[in-house]
Structure 1
Amino acid sequence: FLGWLDFLDELVMGAHPLVADALTEAVEEKFFQGILQPQLLQMSELAVLGTTAVLTVTVRQLRSPTLLHRLVLFLLGPQQHPETPGDTPHPLRAQLIDRCDHLCDEISLASLKLFEELLRKPQELVVHNLVLRNLEARAYLQRGPHGAEERGPPETDPEEDGLDLEEDPYFTDGFPDDFGATKTPSPASSPTGKGQVSEVVSR
């Protein structure tokens, strides 16, 4: 199956646009709607689990934008307006979302994995259909009338700038108590044979 899917994917990517559209339409009719949809909507948990796993692998393997877009439309539908309680949901989309909280843990994990693979694909329709369509009309971010204010560099405290190092109580830690004090030489400490400066000047 994966070999056939890879061959079909490469064929659609390299074919003429008219041929690619015809192939994609045939895949949707024969495979998506003819095989996957009946198995996804049935009640057998084992069949649902197997079909969801096959669908997850299919989403992961597809690289053709045309084929992937058609698969996304098949799974999620073309609706892009915000959902309201009175709307009729896309049947397959609603079924897949409900199965994310299924009584069977295996089906829940398989369904979550399917949506994870869908969100990894570079398809704007996936994000818009699942998330953005219900957020666009809500004011989660309020912007000011003149836009965001520009923030300048942080202001420094003038008291910190004028603080002398000698006044810092942590600056003198670790130094001896007489550090910085001026020492006056005693007369006895003068070298032998040399007098004080006052004696030399008076002579």
Structure 2
Amino acid sequence: MTNKNSSGITRRGLLGAFAATAVAATPTYANAAGFLRGAGDIRRISMYSGRTGESLDTIYWIEGEYIAEAVREINVHMRDWRTGEAVQMDLRTIDIMAAASNLMEASEPYLLLSGYRSPQTNAMLRSQSSGVARNSLHMRGQAADLRLQSRSTAQMASAAVACHAGGVGRYNGSNFVHMDCGPIRTWRG
């Protein structure tokens, strides 16, 4: 199925163009939800948690509607693995993750290092590292720390920045990228 906008450009062609430039430059585009939007659009997210051994590969949005059961599965998958507590993840973050994955044309699932963090977990991590924010968006279900074996942190960060939809932190030493739906900003850790 091909979706065409009024200029005759296909969605697949547009995403291909984004993918080709995302790894080399940091262009400014519409937000993640913007370039995932469209009639017939399907949004999918695929993740693996090394902490729990659980995998998730789900279509969570079809034809303009989030799928409640898939969203619940995402919330459980992205729970604080230390406490078992899950919250409603902000779907804007999931959209950014899905959009970045599409831009990179990644076929492997994200390795989820951290999704939701309880205040207790965040305080514990803060006591061990200066890189953990006191008011982390992880505690609001608005952030994820992710890794891909087939992509560098530079490639992942470029794709997330291209979404122009939230914060992107690049942690080369720990080999992961932070993506969130907060204010648009970038940093290196």
* TM-score tier after normalising by the smaller chain length: under 0.3
Q: TM-score, structure 2 length as denominator?
A: 0.26
- Structure with the larger helix share: 1
- Between Structure 1 and Structure 2, which shows a larger proportion of strand residues? 2
* Larger Rg, first or second structure (1 or 2): 1
